[in-house]
Amino acid sequence: MLTAERRQYVLAVLQRDGKVVARQLSEELGLSEDTIRRDLRDLAADGLLLRVHGGALPCSPATANFSARFAQAPFAKNAIARAAAQLVRDGQVVLMDGGTTNIQVAQHLSPDLEATIITNSPPLATALIDHPRIEVILLGGKLYKHSAVTLGAATLEELHMVRADLYMLGICSLHPDVGISTNNLEEAYLKRAMMACAADVVALASPEKLNTAAPYVIGELRELSEIITEHTISEELLEPYRALGITITQADSGMVKS
């Protein structure tokens, strides 16, 4: 088997099984584990998978820049945003980070809603400028242009004064083994701090984010109160998350089911 063919096979196994175990693959192909590990290193360098001890996992699709991510899974994100907006109640203090789905949540909030939204996303804050009854608190810090959010020590310091009712967590990756993860270390610190500030944490996860992993771990899945995803996700894929006691809401443009 040629190198290119072998690596395509590795990716096919990854898509089929949701993981690659180097020892199993070496036995299956009659090759050394060193050869498989070298393939995994090269595929990881190309951003096609995430290496973990003993093998590899699917990597997060959330590596594109902010503008490009708006074009990813637009119908799923719209359905998820509509469902998430229904969770916000009058009088609540709500944390929302910089996920593109969160910006759509802001756009779907009821015009009669009276609440406080705290965010590190300038685009999200801008989306709420004309909302008549929502107070918007924009966290300061260094602008991370890739995700259009503020990050850093100043941002974390402001969170020390916050006790929120709800945190809308924009998701990079969810995986039953790895947990909640992201591609940027400072974002991981900030999202972890936001989780610690909130009574309930709701993850907004379009289908391509499930069962993927990124280099920096934010927290364990059990720290989530709820996952809102798209209605076409199979029960087999969702079962590991349900088994942890997490409420799963599957949304489409016409209905929401739990």
List strands edge to edge, sheet with 198-204.
134-138, 115-119, 93-96, 164-170, 198-204, 226-230, 247-251, 256-257
Q: Which one is predicted more confidently, 74 or 8? A: 8
Distance CA 8, CA 25 (A): 13
Domain endpoint, select from 38, 57, 76:
57
Cα 111 to chain centroid, rounded: 27
Give Cα separations from 39 to 34, 46, 67, 160 (angstroms).
9, 11, 32, 44
Single pTM value for the model: 0.83
172-199 residue pLDDT tens: 999 998 999 999 999 999 999 999 999 9
pLDDT tens track for 83-128: 999 999 999 999 999 888 999 999 999 999 999 999 999 999 999 9
Q: Which amino acid is at 241?
A: Y
| Spatial distance between the Cα atoms of 98 and 111, rounded to a whole number of angstroms | 21
**Residue 66: its pLDDT value, please?**
59
| Same domain flag for 121 and 8 | no
Do 75 and 49 belong together in one domain?
no
CATH of the domain at 248: 3.40.50.1360
Cα 227–Cα 141–Cα 97 angle in degrees, nearest 5: 15
- Same domain (yes/no): 90, 16: no
Contact in structure between 119 and 142 (CB atoms under 8 Å): no
The span from the CA of 228 to the CA of 96, in Å, is 14
Structural domain including 49 reads: 3-57
Cα–chain-centroid distance for residue 140?
A: 22
**H or E element that contains 80:** helix 74-85
* DSSP label of 258: -
Write down the mean pLDDT value for the chain. 90
On whether both 13 and 72 belong to a single domain, the answer is: no
**Total domains present in the chain:** 2
Do 139 and 241 have their domain in common? yes
Residues 116 and 165 in one domain: yes
Q: Measured between alpha carbons, how far is 224 from 238 in angstroms, rounded to an integer?
A: 14
| Domain harbouring 32, CATH code | 1.10.10.10
51 and 74 part of one domain: no
123 and 234 assigned to the same domain: yes
Query: Which residue in this structure is represented by tokens 């945003």?
Result: 81
- Tell me the pLDDT tens digit for each residue of 143-178: 999 889 999 999 999 999 999 999 999 999 999 989
Question: Are 182 and 234 within one domain?
Answer: yes
Question: Counting Cβ atoms within 10 Å, is residue 175 exposed (0-12), middle (13-18) or buried (19+)?
Answer: buried
Amino acid found at 234: S
Query: Do 30 and 153 fall within a single domain?
Result: no
